[in-house]
Amino acid sequence: MILAAGANGGPGLQLLLVLGGALFLGTVGARVLRWLRFPQVLGYILIGLVLGESGFAWITSHMIERLSPFNIFALGVIGFMIGGELHRDAFKRFGRQFIIILIAEGVAAFLVVGALAGVVTYLIKPDVQLATAVGLLLGAISAATAPAATIRVLREYKTRGALTQTVFAIVALDDGLALVLFGIASSIAARLLHVSTGGKELTMIAGLLKTGQELLGGVALGAAAGVGLNWLLRRRRDHDRALTYTIGTLALVIGVSARLGFDTILASMALGVMITNLARRRSGSTFEMVERFAPPIYVLFFVLVGAHLHIGAMPTVLWILAGVYVVARSGGKMLGANLGGRLASAPAVVRKYLGMCLFCQGGVAIGLAWMASGRFRDVMLFGDVNLGVAIMTIITATTFIVELVGPPFVKHAAHKSGEAGLDVTEEDLMVSYTVADMVDRSAPSFRRGDPVAVILRTIADTDAETYPVVDGEGKLVGIISLAHLKQSFGAEGLTAWLVAFDLMEPADDTVTETTPLADAVEQMKLEHLDCLPVLSDEADGRFVGVLELRRIDRILSQEILRRRQLAEVST
């Protein structure tokens, strides 16, 4: 088929050209956005906008239409990877407390966004069903949180403690919650708006049955496929075939779900959940494999999402809804995190600051919006804007907004909670010290005239490797190292009349008190020295003490331990 299309130079070839171009340009866009500290997803979407009908119209809506099965597959991959996170150990590890907070913050965002967006929609266009559908869809999508930017900020400020731990748990798990909420919301919205029943009105009971069938059918299909895939993977251990089986199963699950009218994302997620829980160890490599295979799929998906957008003239009503969405979502997350924290008796820092760490949204929200855009494109919302396009546009616009305002809030929370700076490594700490903080001022040293007997006694009583020799004015004149000293005692008879002055060697390497610690340590490592004499920074260069690697290590690890304990107290 491809060969035939290629030989004719037909649309097949055109499609390949678009695929290749989209991948390359999408990656360029992501790099630019990452440089601007935006998530890469937005870079792909921007490139999509440029290539799509809002821009050069290189990617036409016809092509997007032809590629829509691919997009559904990409969402399936996302769902599968999210399912892979939901291992029972994660729940056990994070504990009941996290699950309560997770559900509270997700559901609160859902309810607050749903209610406010629904009311605002109703005020603009008094249609209860439509307003409810808008509320359900935006509410469900609002539960998802993008981990990347949030975690980047926490890492940047080296946070550690209860808040940090909770944020990590929540952002890892709440995409799963969003997927489930969206499955339910989307199915109910479809019933309300008579989508996919050919405009036919179903009875309440029939509607509920249909919703149950969509969700549970998807979950059952994914779970059953998971059992099958697990059986295959257990028999076949080589990687190439494992990847083929996994991708094949995923494609089958998505295809069958779509055919039977099941929720494709929930089905994919169920497959991921099954695989990760049935075979903990083996599944690790399965998800790694898919992860490695996935980047071009993600890039292409988000470029196509961008190409699909008509951002040119976003109607004012959508801007209003976008504003309501951002405010309601932020408020809902804060409220839910606080309530959940109270219910779970979480520490005060979690109750107070968790919400503002959950503002960022990204790929999953956009993926779900895209899902909605396909399903609800025949439902007119305002004027000629259909519900699908509205959701897609609102979520894309708000992603830009929350990715801008979200990170500063995370930073604020990190500092206010007192968890910033508690998760430091020795390298981080080192930057904040100078040699003066670490110098051992009581390190043993010798006067030039000290006889060998004194030298030997001091060496026996101390455990240094190097001993400085100073003159009457306290100036460093040389050093005596143990290695060096050994050579001096090859012959007997010298010990009675030699002094430190005879045994010392020139002190070529020294540092001053104001030298940054990191520079001094680098110098020591470069010269393979365990210690360095330290001089005062004044012009006279008086000997101050000895800088020892062992001592630096000890002080730094004590400080790290102290900070960890501080972080633990807050847990």
The binding site for other proteins (CB under 8 A) comprises 448-449, 451, 484, 487-488, 490-491, 493-494, 496-499, 501-503, 505-506
435, 520 Cβ separation under 8 angstroms: yes
Lookup result for tokens 């949204």: 361
Closest approach of other proteins to the CB of residue 569, in Å: 54
What is the C-alpha to C-alpha distance for residues 150 and 177, in angstroms, rounded to an integer?
18
Containing 311, the helix (H) or strand (E) segment is none
Which residue lies nearer to other proteins by CB, 203 or 487?
487
Which residue lies nearer to other proteins by CB, 223 or 454?
454
Closest approach of other proteins to the CB of residue 439, in Å: 26
Which residue lies nearer to other proteins by CB, 4 or 491?
491
Question: By C-alpha distance, which of 72, 59, 3 is closest to 301?
Answer: 72
Which residue lies nearer to other proteins by CB, 224 or 499?
499
Closest approach of other proteins to the CB of residue 505, in Å: 5
What is the C-alpha to C-alpha distance for residues 320 and 311, in angstroms, rounded to an integer?
15
Alpha-carbon distances, residue 189 vs 128, 211, 322 (angstroms) = 11, 10, 19
Which residue lies nearer to other proteins by CB, 368 or 500?
500
Distance of CA 96 to the CA centre of its chain: 23
Closest approach of other proteins to the CB of residue 501, in Å: 5
User: What crossing angle do the helices spanning 387-416 and 295-308 adopt, rounded to 10°?
Assistant: 120
Closest approach of other proteins to the CB of residue 479, in Å: 11
Closest approach of other proteins to the CB of residue 163, in Å: 59
What is the C-alpha to C-alpha distance for residues 454 and 448, in angstroms, rounded to an integer?
11
| Residue 450 half-sphere exposure toward CB, CA atoms < 13 A | 24
Which residue lies nearer to other proteins by CB, 263 or 450?
450
Q: How many residues does the chain have?
A: 571
Closest approach of other proteins to the CB of residue 487, in Å: 5
- DSSP secondary structure string, 473-517? TSBEEEEEEHHHHHHHTSSTT-TTT-BHHHH-B-----EETTSBH
Lookup result for tokens 């408020």: 331
Q: Which residues pair with 542 in a beta bridge?
A: 475
Closest approach of other proteins to the CB of residue 544, in Å: 23
Which residue lies nearer to other proteins by CB, 409 or 446?
446
Closest approach of other proteins to the CB of residue 496, in Å: 7
Task: State the first-to-last Cα distance of the chain, in angstroms, to the nearest integer.
Answer: 60
Which residue lies nearer to other proteins by CB, 35 or 497?
497
Closest approach of other proteins to the CB of residue 526, in Å: 20
507, 467 Cβ separation under 8 angstroms: no
Q: Residue 149: helix, strand or coil by DSSP?
A: helix
299, 48 Cβ separation under 8 angstroms: no
Which residue lies nearer to other proteins by CB, 383 or 490?
490
100 Cβ contact list (under 8 Å, min separation 6): 340, 343, 344
Which residue lies nearer to other proteins by CB, 401 or 485?
485
262, 218 Cβ separation under 8 angstroms: yes
